[in-house]
Amino acid sequence: IDEQGGVSYKKVPTNALMSAIQLGIANSIGSLASKPTRDLLLQDFETIESVVFPAAGSATTPSHSFGDFRFRTYAPIAFRYFRDLFHIKPADFLRSICTEPLRELSNAGASGSIFYVSQDDQFIIKTVQHKEAEFLQKLLPGYYMHTHNRSEWAAQNDAFSQNLNQNPRTLLPKFFGLFCYQSLGKNIRLLVMNNLLPQAIQMHEKYDLKGSTYKRMASKQERAKSYPTLKDLDFLENHQDGITIDPSAHEALIGVLRRDCLVMQSFKIMDYSLLVGIHNLELAASNRRTRIESDPEEPAFDTQQPCSSRDAADQSSQPTTRSHKALREKFSVWESVDANDVASHGGVPARNSNGDRLILYLGIIDILQNYRLLKKMEHTWKSILHDGSTISVHNPEFYSKRFMDFMTEHVFKKGAALKQSPSRRRT
């Protein structure tokens, strides 16, 4: 942030950066249309396409006011193939990312990355470091072998076939594109991936969990935000008994997590997190009721609002107004779950220890830290080393085991999350 209050990243004003990115991506996706689809070749993972965007315009690029820049697309054919695999049509991708302004998220991590989210909530663009982009390039062939296999499997299975996004057999991030904006000797690398937390749905709590307890508590400053990202120690405090998920869904979820962890371990990836957004139906209903009393035309979904007080969550009346339609739909989503539905509709039904009905939004994030890179990053390294064990066990295997232990012992509990009604709401 500069003295005039303008936001910039690597000294590039972010609104100009955003517009330049949109130009670059539109050009990149547009030019792919003329290239026939075909099977992937190994070199498709290594190709880097580069286009110059002079401010005055050129034969293939429009004139613009963001200063001359160069835009690079990593592995264009490979990423096209994977967007296809994730059922993302070029026209939709373009519409989501390039036609409307992107929104900047304020929750940047400690690494200083910038996050943009597309207006339709589907995509996140994260600025990544050189090393991370390099690592992703190396990771691509193996990573997608894994993703591909799982989606093929899903495609054969009618219940899962409609949309991989909605029925993931993996919680690893979906990467839709890697680009680089270059101007005045600066490189800004941009990774497009799936947005796990739809902005249209209020997350009453949000956790970034690693399975470590060393310094894993949100700062005072973070907690003062209306939409804070909490951490492992906060979770342990707020959910001493964990979160309950129906047995079959629990089994499926843990299975998915285990396989994902194994894959990451095999790539020597560490320092990833499980992002957990919690939508609390009880809190949402009571917030809505409070607002409907004053304004019956209020939209049915909460947008990001500060958490309301817990004791307002008591349930007494049935939804009646038109505004409750979406809520009722959510209830039915929540009620009709089974094993195949883990993470379907983008959410996993669950309950907290109060018996409140929850919908969990889950995904693994920040997977581009490789063991060898981490050794050079002292802070992260120290935080990984802290748990009193010796250095030799602090490797990706240790990381993934600790991660899984935390998820199974403290976070996700197996139980009758759906059928059992919380007693305090029974009439």
Stretch that binds ligand ATP, among 26-34, 73-81, 108-116, 408-416 (CB under 6 A): 108-116
Q: Which two tokens stand for residue 127?
A: 């600025």
- CA-based nearest residue to 1, from 127, 161, 122, 108: 108
Give whichever of 257 and 365 is closer to ligand ATP, judged by the CB atom.
365
Please tell me the count of residues contacting Ca ion according to CB under 5 A.
2
Question: Residue number with the shortest CB distance to ligand ATP?
Answer: 109
- CA-based nearest residue to 162, from 348, 38, 346, 328: 346
Per-position x/- string for 190-229, each x denoting binding to ligand ATP as judged by CB under 6 A, each - no binding? ---xxxxx----------x--------------------x
Per-position x/- string for 262-291, each x denoting binding to ligand ATP as judged by CB under 6 A, each - no binding? -----------x-x----------------
Q: Residue 321, class by beta-carbon neighbours within 10 Å (0-12 exposed, 13-18 middle, 19+ buried)?
A: middle
Regarding 113 and contact with ligand ATP (CB under 6 A), the answer is yes
Give whichever of 271 and 302 is closer to Ca ion, judged by the CB atom.
271
Q: Which entry of ligand ATP, Ca ion, none binds 224, CB below 5 to 8 A by partner kind?
A: none
Name the minimum Å distance from CB 111 to ligand ATP.
4
Name the minimum Å distance from CB 189 to ligand ATP.
12
Q: Are strands 175-183 and 205-209 parallel, antiparallel or unpaired?
A: unpaired
Question: Taking a C-beta distance cutoff of 8 angstroms, is the pair 67, 183 a contact?
Answer: yes
Per-position x/- string for 331-370, each x denoting binding to ligand ATP as judged by CB under 6 A, each - no binding? ----------------------------------xx----
Per-position x/- string for 259-288, each x denoting binding to Ca ion as judged by CB under 5 A, each - no binding? ------------------------------
Spatial distance between the Cα atoms of 427 and 370, rounded to a whole number of angstroms: 54
180 forms bridges with which residues in the sheet? Answer: 72, 189
Stretch that binds Ca ion, among 11-19, 77-85, 93-101, 108-116 (CB under 5 A): 108-116
Stretch that binds Ca ion, among 106-114, 296-304, 310-318, 377-385 (CB under 5 A): 106-114
Q: Which entry of ligand ATP, Ca ion, none binds 86, CB below 5 to 8 A by partner kind?
A: none
Regarding 109 and contact with ligand ATP (CB under 6 A), the answer is yes
Regarding 170 and contact with ligand ATP (CB under 6 A), the answer is no
- CA-based nearest residue to 79, from 15, 133, 118: 133
Name the minimum Å distance from CB 273 to Ca ion.
5
The amino acid that residue 417 corresponds to is: A
Q: Which two tokens stand for residue 264?
A: 């990451």
Contacts with 142 (C-beta within 8 Å, 6 or more apart), sequence order: 266, 267
422 forms bridges with which residues in the sheet? Answer: none
Name the minimum Å distance from CB 104 to ligand ATP.
12
Buried (b) or exposed (e) across 88-110, using 16+ Cβ within 10 A?
A: beeeebbebbbeeebebbeeeee
Regarding 107 and contact with ligand ATP (CB under 6 A), the answer is yes
The amino acid that residue 276 corresponds to is: V
> Could you write out the DSSP letters of every residue in 167-201?
S-S--SPPEEEEEEEEETTEEEEEEEEE-SS-TTS
Regarding 205 and contact with Ca ion (CB under 5 A), the answer is no
Q: Tell which one of 44, 205, 282, 366 touches Ca ion (CB under 5 A).
A: 366
Name the minimum Å distance from CB 45 to ligand ATP.
22
In the chain, count H helices and then E strands. Answer: 12, 15
The amino acid that residue 257 corresponds to is: L
Give whichever of 323 and 369 is closer to ligand ATP, judged by the CB atom.
369
Q: Which entry of ligand ATP, Ca ion, none binds 315, CB below 5 to 8 A by partner kind?
A: none
Q: Tell which one of 20, 124, 230, 245 touches ligand ATP (CB under 6 A).
A: 124
Q: Which two tokens stand for residue 300?
A: 């049915």
Q: Tell the residue number behind the tokens 């139906």, with chain if given.
A: 281
The Cα-based distances of 416 to 40, 65, 105, 245 in angstroms read 45, 58, 36, 7
Residues contributing to the site for ligand ATP (CB under 6 A): 107-111, 113, 115, 124, 193-197, 208, 229, 273, 275, 365-366
Residues contributing to the site for Ca ion (CB under 5 A): 111, 366
